[in-house]
């Protein structure tokens, strides 16, 4: 989340009438028997464990489900307060509500009195769904780099497999921001008859060259850390310096010059004049980035970061139209809402508009909003009031 959001507000506890209350992550396992899960890049996996959370109830028609797709380092805990925090997020989940708690709950924009809400952790992550940290049944040791390459198409396919398991015939909406917006778009393209509405925030049909470059540098910093050990670092500290650098670099792309300038400017950290040294922390912004990196490496796996960023790199929705985005958009049957943010330079407004223009050329129903904001890419998480109005209006009966 951005460093410099709107004025602080009260965080409602689990007893608040608009909270989904205490939640508990659930798990299910697919492909324990029979053929393995076939991945788009050619790999295969078995078994496949999926961690997910649900809020609200499925209606008799089984058509009121909303599937929320999380961002790059997010997880299934979208709303409420974790009843039994466990795993890498144990130190965090019990202290604050889910990452999109402002949006999900009774009377909130994604109203759990009306919708059955599902959020699942994606394949390749380190938050409960099968990934590089999981034990490889062939060796009894963590997969590491033996884990097969995963794609956004695999996340969509596994999402539908989970929805089948939950008895959901058709989604009322697929919703996602950033990487999650790509997954939501892929779900609507892969099975058009099963997605009635589509909401994409801060995401385009593909990542631009600058985004690819930042991800490349992040991965380079990880794999060239002496602690990486070709991905076989489990049982040791791992590539902490490399992962820290990757996180600091990525975090800069989530923000904007205006938000960083407003919060920190060029202020020195705890002193009136510089030390004139090439090492150490001189500026507040340096201290902030180091803090972000430190908290991140305590909860995230470096191998997962490699796999997740590569999946984002590979995604290009135009492949559904053999490289023609308009032809790809013609597959959509969902009514769509696409929102960009003026200061987002990871998925800039012009990239989002390419997708919207293709939808229009294909004759598809789409609403597009470019929201003025100084908060950069993370604005979809920070501009709560504006995003709430958009989603509430779009999902209104």
Per the listing, tokens 């779009």 go with 394
Enzyme catalytic residues:
178, 344, 377
């Amino acid at each position: 989340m951005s460093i410099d959001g709107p004025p602080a507000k009260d965080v409602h506890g689990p007893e608040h009438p608009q909270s989904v209350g205490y939640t508990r992550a659930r798990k299910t396992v697919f492909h324990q028997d029979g053929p393995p899960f076939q991945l788009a890049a050619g790999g295969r996996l078995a078994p496949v464990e999926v961690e997910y959370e649900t809020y609200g109830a499925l209606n008799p028609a089984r058509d009121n489900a909303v599937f929320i797709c999380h961002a790059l380092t997010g997880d299934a805990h979208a709303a409420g307060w974790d009843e039994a925090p466990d795993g890498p997020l144990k130190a965090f989940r019990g202290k604050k509500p889910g990452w999109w708690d402002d949006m999900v709950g009774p009377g909130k924009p994604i109203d759990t009195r009306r919708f059955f809400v599902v959020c699942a952790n994606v394949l390749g992550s380190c938050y409960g769904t099968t990934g590089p940290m999981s034990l490889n049944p062939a060796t009894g040791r963590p997969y590491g780099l033996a884990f097969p390459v995963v794609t956004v198409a695999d996340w969509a396919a596994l999402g539908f497999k989970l929805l089948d398991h939950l008895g959901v015939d058709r989604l009322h909406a697929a919703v996602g921001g950033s990487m999650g917006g790509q997954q939501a778009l892929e779900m609507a393209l892969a099975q058009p008859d099963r997605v009635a509405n589509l909401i994409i925030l801060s995401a385009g049909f593909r990542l631009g060259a600058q985004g690819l470059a930042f991800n490349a540098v992040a991965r380079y910093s990880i794999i060239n850390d002496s602690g990486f050990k070709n991905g076989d670092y489990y049982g040791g500290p791992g590539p902490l310096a490399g992962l820290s650098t990757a996180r600091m670099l990525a975090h800069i792309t989530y923000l904007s010059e205006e938000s960083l300038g407003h919060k920190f400017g060029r202020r020195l950290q705890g002193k009136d004049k510089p030390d004139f040294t090439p090492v150490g922390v001189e500026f507040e912004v340096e201290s902030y980035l180091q803090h972000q990196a430190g908290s991140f490496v305590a909860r995230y796996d470096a191998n997962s970061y490699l796999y997740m960023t590569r999946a984002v790199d590979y995604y290009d929705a135009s492949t559904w139209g053999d490289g023609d985005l308009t032809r790809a958009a013609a597959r959509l049957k969902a009514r769509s809402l696409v929102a960009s943010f003026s200061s987002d330079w990871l998925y800039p407004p012009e990239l989002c508009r390419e997708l919207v223009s293709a939808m229009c050329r294909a004759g598809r129903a789409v609403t597009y909003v470019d929201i003025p904001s100084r908060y950069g890419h993370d604005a979809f998480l920070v501009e709560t009031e504006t995003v709430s109005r958009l989603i509430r209006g779009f999902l209104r009966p």
